[in-house]
Amino acid sequence: MPGAPEHRQASAPEPLPPTVLAIFQRQAEGACARFAIIRVLFLKAFAVGFSRLLRAALCCAAACFSAVVPAQTPPAPVINAKSWILLDVSSAQVLASLGPAERVEPASLTKLMTAYLAFSALKAKTLTLEQAVPVSEKAWKMGGSRMFIEPKKPVTVAELLRGMIVQSGNDACIALAELISGSEEAFAAAMNREAKRLGMKNTSFRNSTGWPDPEHYTTAADLGVLAAAIIRDFPDFYSLYSMKQYSYNSITQSNRNKLLWVDPNVDGMKTGFTDAAGYCLIASAKRGPRRLLSVVLGTGSENARATESQKLLNFGFLNYDGVKLYDKGQSISSLEVWKGSSREVKAGFDRELFVTLPKGQADKVKATLLSQKPLLAPIALGQKIGTMKVTVDGRDIAEVPVVALEAVEGAGVFGRAYDTMRLWFTKS
């Protein structure tokens, strides 16, 4: 998340939504009632001596005080993998991890970036799904997992995407890379540029397939960023990751993500394996409005990567709640504007704002708006004008950009001159 702006002023946002406030009120009322019961029981206990009433009072007090002690973050399960991470896609929060910044060989998980660039080209209309793709000798002879394309047999972009995603075809990756960038080497450079743009801080790509190379590496955290970006940026293409099998050239191959058969909530994403990387799996599941994403790297078998991934996903759904704080486009405050045609601008979010919390901690949410100061016109619709800092029990949970919900044009010559003088006196 972006840091707070250089010039900032804490502003009180509008009240939290009624659903969250209702939770606060119910828990507060319950606590008051319990303390009232304790008081009566203690008075009666001293009146009749140390009897069973006193013991009841002590038990009630223990239960009450245990209810108001700050809840701790649920302990993560033991995951038999070299490194792993669990993310909530809606809130972009990391729920648990082990060695998320440890460098690993990504194997076929590399193909997520190959897919991301292909999806981007389709979105930009520089490719079409029906487009025929020439198959080079390099693609045809590529080793490892294949979809079995042939130089003299036409293949479309749509077929290559399915061969890459479902069958993990290395030949499909090279054909797409050469189509998009002219060569796999040029495509790898584009992969690295996109990785940097997405915020993948410890990743280096050398090819489109995940073929082992000393300078081809990534981390669990970076893979989480990439997988979440595909889900967020290309929801229509993401459905390809739920396909259980695909046939090409009279050869049917099954998706190696076993969770697609085991858990009806799992609808993607990608497996990977080399001797050095071990058995890896990125899996995503949706239950109700919540979507979780697990990245499990370096397990000992196909079954282990599926079992450990499902263990992580179940842990996240059972121990955490997603809380919606604000709607997209909802005004949370009006901020003062200088040198503008209007003195104020409505502030809010360009998406729904969710936070993910351990169960029972919704009453501890605190949202603070940090606004830019001074806020100068002109201001464009959607321009960042502040940051919303969300904390729970003093712990930072998220920092989310706050944007202008309306445009504010600059004032005229005299208006700008007047505000310039006001700012000068304010600073002095």
Q: How many helices (H) and strands (E) does the chain have?
A: 12, 17
Give the whole-angstrom CA distance, residue 215 versus residue 111: 16
Alpha helices in 263-347 (DSSP H): 302-319
- What CA–CA distance (Å, rounded) separates 254 from 167? 7
Question: Which residue is catalytic, options 11, 90, 97, 168?
Answer: 168
One-letter amino acid at 63 equals: A
Q: Tell me the C-alpha distance between 424 and 68, whole Å.
A: 49
| 294 tagged catalytic | no
Bond before 374 cis per omega within 30 degrees: yes
Q: Of these residues, 83, 90, 91, 108, which one is catalytic?
A: 108
Sequence-separated (6 or more) residues with CB below 8 Å from residue 323: 20, 354, 355, 356, 357, 362, 365
Look-up of token digits 């991301």 = 116
- Helix axis angle for 184-198 and 220-233, nearest 10°, is 90
> Coil, helix or strand for 167?
coil
Q: Which secondary-structure segment (H or E) carries 85?
A: strand 83-88
User: What phi and psi values does residue 110 have, to the nearest 5 degrees?
Assistant: -55, -35
* Residue 111 annotated as catalytic: yes
Marked catalytic residue, from 111, 270, 346, 364: 111
Q: Judge whether 82 counts as a catalytic residue.
A: no
Distance CA 285, CA 266 (A): 4
Task: Give all strands (DSSP E) within 154-307, no chain letters.
Answer: 155-156, 245-248, 251-254, 266-274, 278-287, 290-299
Q: Give 93's strand partners.
A: 88
Separation in Å, CA 97 to CA 125, 219, 333: 38, 12, 35
The Cα 179–Cα 131 span in angstroms is 10
Three-class SS state of 83: strand
> Which residues are CB-contacts of 174 (< 8 A; sequence separation ≥ 6)?
136, 138, 139, 142, 184, 208, 209
Task: Provide the annotated active-site residues.
Answer: 108, 111, 168
